[in-house]
């Protein structure tokens, strides 16, 4: 498939996602990049992995009445969570998606926990930025593990993908502390750095496993 056709196809899917409420209006161009590049480089399996992530994240947000993303993801959110994955190798690609999925599940399910703990503030209300909870941590692990079958399908090192996803999502929590300390630090920047880190950890582990 040509790059143009892949981007055009992903743009069409993005428009459909807008109509379904998974994306905010005007975010389809970001979906074209995040979905089109994997479709062009990795074929239908890679594109389906992206769709799987979007579906899981969107459905989880819909089930959380307190979620900030029930109205769908913005273009910047799409790029922060998906663009690093679209630019990497299979291991990097899947680990970055696993990072984003793990973080999304941890945020959406953890915010419904009766209690949470913040590294700097101690016990806080659940849903507080950078806070940790039992259900959220469990959801984080599940979010990374659900990409194990995709790693098998795309012939990427399974444990490198899963551990990269866990590492990236944990880093997302720590990086989130910057949002409270630095005025220009946004959640989109946190997600961008975390997904990139998750992918890099997976590539490093893949090399270590192969040695």
The 10s digit of each residue's pLDDT in 155-192 is 999 999 999 999 999 999 999 888 888 889 998 999 99
Q: Which residues 6+ apart lie within 8 Å of 3 measured at CB?
A: 36, 40
Residues of the chain with pLDDT under 70: 64-72, 211
The per-residue pLDDT for 20 is 82
Q: Quick one: pLDDT at residue 120?
A: 82
Report pLDDT for 71.
58
CA dist 24 and 63 (Å) reads 17
pLDDT of res. 47: 92
pLDDT given for residue 64 in this prediction? 65
């Amino acid at each position: 498939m040509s790059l143009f056709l892949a981007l055009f196809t992903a743009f069409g899917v993005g428009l459909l996602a807008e109509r379904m409420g998974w994306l905010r209006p005007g975010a389809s161009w970001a979906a074209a990049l995040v979905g089109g590049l994997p479709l062009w480089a990795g074929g239908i399996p890679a594109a389906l992995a992206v769709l799987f992530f979007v579906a899981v994240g969107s459905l989880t947000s819909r089930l959380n009445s307190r979620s900030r993303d029930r109205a769908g993801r913005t273009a910047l959110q799409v790029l922060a969570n998906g663009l690093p994955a679209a630019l990497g190798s299979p291991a990097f690609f899947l680990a970055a998606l696993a990072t984003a999925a793990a973080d999304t599940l941890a945020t959406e399910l953890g915010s419904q926990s009766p209690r949470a703990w913040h590294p700097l503030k101690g016990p806080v209300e659940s849903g507080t930025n950078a806070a940790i909870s039992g259900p959220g941590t469990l959801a984080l692990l599940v979010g990374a593990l659900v990409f194990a079958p995709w790693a098998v399908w795309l012939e990427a090192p399974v444990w490198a993908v899963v551990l990269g996803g866990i590492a990236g999502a944990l880093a997302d929590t720590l990086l989130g502390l910057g949002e409270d300390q630095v005025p220009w630090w946004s959640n989109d920047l946190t997600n961008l750095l975390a997904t990139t880190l998750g992918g890099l950890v997976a590539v490093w582990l893949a090399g270590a496993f192969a040695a």
